[in-house]
Structure 1
Amino acid sequence: MTSCDRFLLDQPGGTLNHIRPVPAALFLAASLALTGCSQASSSEASSASEDATTSASAADFPVTIDAANGEVTLDSRPERIVSLSPSATEILFAIGAGDQVIAADEYSTYPAEAPTTDLSAYDPNVEAIAGYEPDLVVIANDTNGIVGALAKLDIPTIVNEAPATVEDGYDGVAALGMATGHVDETAEVVADMRAEVDEGLAAAPQDRLRIYHELDEKLYAASSHSFIGSVYDSLGATNVADAADKQKSGYPQLTEEAVIAADPELIVITDQVSYTADDVANRPGWENVSAVRNGNIVTVDADISSRWGPRLPQLIESIADAMASVKTPVG
């Protein structure tokens, strides 16, 4: 398994029980308004938000979540959740649903109390999953048709995809809050994330530094069409991988010639690639790349940089710090 593969691993009981991205955001706004963390833009918006919040409380199941795999109805609050997404596992624990998670995939290593097992998200096995008798499975992708296979066993599944933007990430957190009956806790988590993210963005330098985020030795990189790429865009950076991402996949493969020609001022790698910043600096022909010449190659935590969720503020802070510390030639 390559580091690029691992990066990609890691989204009827009443008239207001159908939860879609916009209503999910409204429910968060309502919860925050009730705790003094948000303001309603109008009386109509406030009323709609309060209704959405009420419908999402633990006592008001069933609810229907509009997930990436379609509408998913949960008749009661799930108490035996299997998470096959490291990002979802982090989110579930952060919003207070950790006690409802009975098993998590092999890469769900955070937080420490996560019930990590040998379950695979890359090659999910329906029998192994069903053995835990889950009443909800959360995954990032419908790999091997696992959603349909679990549906045949009457096991509901929510596909919580990797978000394309930071705002989409908040919606993903909101959806899991709705699904697990943790409305107020989720609102608080998102409010804290927003505040910390805004603080990190404000601290970032205003210069549009050219950034190259390399995923592996084959020169796959994160463009602005990926979640991490959207973070760089929010920080005001210019992503050198964008020119190669004609299909807007989020993860194009570059050539050495293209990287050298783009002349990134900051190169970012993760701590789980098989090489170091020094190895990058010593690549033949890279000696005149600005980031190499000025010593601006940084290594970030792979878990944080490849997962969307409550540790997003840490990622933004680390990248903002790296951007602020970029060295430029003297004279």
Structure 2
Amino acid sequence: MKLDSNQTGCQITDQAGRRINLKTMPKRIISLAPSLTEIVYAMGADNLLCGVTEYCDYPPEARNKPWVGGYSTVDIGQIGKIQPDLILTGQIHLKAVIPQLEALGYPVLVLEPSTIEGLLATIRIIGKCTGRQEAAEDLVRSLQRRAGFVTAKIGLLPTESRPKVYILHECETWKTFGSETIGDTLVHLAGGYNIGRDFGSYYPYPTKEAIKLKNPEIIIAETGYGDNPQEPLSVALNEPALAQVTARQTGQVFGIHSDLVSRAGPRMVDGLECLACLIHPELFPQKPSACRGKVYIAGVGPGSAEWVSPQVQNLVAKADILVGWEQDLKPVRSLIKNQKIFLQEACNYLEIPKQAAAEAQKNGGTVVVLKTGDPLVAPAGIHGIANTFGGFEMEVVPGISSVQMAAAKACLSLYDAAVITYHPLPHDGGKDLRKKRKRMLSALSWGLHLIVLTGVRQMPDDTALYLLGKGIAADSSVLICENLTYPNEKITACSLSEVAQRKFDWLSVMVIFNRYTSH
């Protein structure tokens, strides 16, 4: 590969053997391949990226770039509106798309590696033509170091220690990786023997009977795409024709995100690390983060579906695994299709997250742990969840809390109030209950109003009786907000003494106005 440059532009031979002259350094780049989009972002040149395909979804910010069509269905008119000075393409565009683009005068590079070495060369080419050579070399060195760590260990294995691996690339047709593909390269580097190469080059379509005769010791299903992201794994685990193969008999059937083994971008090395861990756990016992997936602790709002944020809606719709109580799941029921549900109940609420973690640990994927309201306002079990999913990348996504809704009903600034939550109370002999009751008294003495989240062990009448017993005025104004945002929502204004004599729903928020503070 030849790279010659001057101060204003450069001459490049791309990976299709085509020689391209760039008269000036590009300032407006279009990427027609998700893998190339990832490379541009990875070296910090995304400010030059003015157009991508609808499949360019990583990193997530790439979705915000203007679309110029699909991967193979390019919108030439949209490209014309952007007026790029460089277009990055793949082999798929050589016959039909590139001649049209070059006829319009656009410089076009064909870049499509199928090996780690080819990936590194691609990074250097993009670095050269974007003026990001130093960033490109930093990325190359990082990927080389990580890949080298894997291959050094695998290189010590005898040939007979390479288990037979079948990768399910497409579950409807049983399409797999043949020779001369990214998947075949990665399986070999990870210490396995890809039986797909026995069926031909590129992407062969073996029959289930042919796969059975090869008797794979490990089956790896590509997940994370389509309307049912976990369907390939389910098929691999349950196909009757493969029930007797060694992989099924020994429980060596796994999932891996398709992007890690099908895209020729920087995450190829993530794929290599994940495959090495699955194929040779004795050498790589610690799963890399890309293989474990990600966990979100997401607030679903106070109860009604209309208060679920768009971000949480998107997370739920794309999740592989959902964890929560029935009350947590209810606002997002319309978004649940093929996700695997781990339902918490009184008899198993501590064990269910552990089961979900075990599932995600084995097969990766995205886990969304749902919490009514905002998980940061009433963080019931949030620390326990963090411990259960230790080692996973984790993010908390806030939601609208019933605390905020109650403050709005009372026209009360949260700045002037103390939030006390009894939802839920730990079984600690009443220690937490006593601490929170004292906090109520302290807040009132500081001139703050109270917003109290009730619970089954501390209902509004319990709170009122306690405060009355501590000398808080019986005529103090109180607002009881029951079932906020639900059709049976009810708001009751009364005195503290009246609350002590009545029963309210356990889904209540109690606003106690400090009589010495204006509101």
8 Å CA contact retained: 2:9, 2:22:
yes
1:227 Cα deviation from its structure 2 partner: 1.4
1:144 Cα deviation from its structure 2 partner: 6.0
| Aligned counterparts of 1:263 and 1:110: Cα–Cα separation in 2 | 35
Q: Residue type matched to 1:159 in 2?
A: V
- Does structure 1 residue 157 correspond to structure 2 residue 108? yes
Higher relative contact order (CA closer than 8 Å, sequence separation 6+) = 1
1:60 Cα deviation from its structure 2 partner: 4.5
Q: Residue type matched to 1:213 in 2?
A: I
**Structure of larger gyration radius:** 2
Match of 1:233 among 173, 188, 192: 188
- Partner residue, 1:284: 240
Q: Residue type matched to 1:264 in 2?
A: P
Q: 1:117 to 1:299 in 2, by over 3 A?
A: same
Q: Deviations over 1:304-330 (max 9, x none)?
A: 22112222221111111111249xxxx
- Partner residue, 1:269: 221
TM alignment of 1:76-87, pairs within 5 A: 76-87=24-35
SS for the counterpart of 1:131 is: helix
8 Å CA contact retained: 2:38, 2:265:
yes
SS for the counterpart of 1:149 is: helix
Match of 2:81 among 125, 131, 135: 131
8 Å CA contact retained: 2:259, 2:267:
no
| Aligned counterparts of 1:169 and 1:113: Cα–Cα separation in 2 | 22
Q: Residue type matched to 2:196 in 1?
A: A
- Partner residue, 1:244: 199
- Partner residue, 1:189: 139
1:224 Cα deviation from its structure 2 partner: 3.2
8 Å CA contact retained: 1:87, 1:308:
yes
8 Å CA contact retained: 1:201, 1:316:
no
Q: Deviations over 1:144-179 (max 9, x none)?
A: 621111112111111112x23221221122221222
- Does structure 1 residue 96 correspond to structure 2 residue 96? no
SS for the counterpart of 2:183 is: helix
1:183 Cα deviation from its structure 2 partner: 1.3
1:201 Cα deviation from its structure 2 partner: 2.7
Match of 2:169 among 215, 220, 233: 215
- Does structure 1 residue 178 correspond to structure 2 residue 134? no
| Aligned counterparts of 2:98 and 2:270: Cα–Cα separation in 1 | 32
1:118 Cα deviation from its structure 2 partner: 5.5
Q: Deviations over 1:173-204 (max 9, x none)?
A: 22212222221111111111000111133355
Deviates more, 1:137-146 or 1:294-303: 137-146
Match of 2:256 among 276, 280, 300: 300
Q: Deviations over 1:55-81 (max 9, x none)?
A: 547x24132333416111111111110
Q: Residue type matched to 1:72 in 2?
A: I
1:252 Cα deviation from its structure 2 partner: 0.9
8 Å CA contact retained: 1:224, 1:233:
no
Q: 1:111 to 1:313 in 2, by over 3 A?
A: same
Q: 1:279 to 1:147 in 2, by over 3 A?
A: closer
Q: Residue type matched to 2:121 in 1?
A: D
| Aligned counterparts of 1:102 and 1:198: Cα–Cα separation in 2 | 34
TM alignment of 1:36-55, pairs within 5 A: 55=4
8 Å CA contact retained: 1:193, 1:312:
no
| Aligned counterparts of 1:194 and 1:215: Cα–Cα separation in 2 | 26
| Aligned counterparts of 1:122 and 1:198: Cα–Cα separation in 2 | 34
Number of equivalenced pairs:
270
- Partner residue, 2:288: none
TM-score by length of 1: 0.76
Q: 1:323 to 1:62 in 2, by over 3 A?
A: closer
- Partner residue, 2:480: none
| Aligned counterparts of 1:87 and 1:130: Cα–Cα separation in 2 | 23
Q: Residue type matched to 1:75 in 2?
A: K
Q: 1:187 to 1:314 in 2, by over 3 A?
A: same
Q: Residue type matched to 2:18 in 1?
A: G
Q: 1:276 to 1:306 in 2, by over 3 A?
A: closer
TM-score by length of 2: 0.49
Q: 1:116 to 1:278 in 2, by over 3 A?
A: same
- Partner residue, 1:315: 271
| Aligned counterparts of 1:116 and 1:133: Cα–Cα separation in 2 | 13
1:211 Cα deviation from its structure 2 partner: 0.5
Q: Residue type matched to 1:125 in 2?
A: D
- Partner residue, 2:67: 117
8 Å CA contact retained: 1:137, 1:157:
yes
1:266 Cα deviation from its structure 2 partner: 0.9
- Partner residue, 1:255: 207
Q: Which has the higher strand share?
A: 2
Alpha-carbon RMSD across the aligned residues, in angstroms, is 2.1
- Does structure 1 residue 145 correspond to structure 2 residue 96? yes
Unaligned runs of 5+ in 2: 283-519
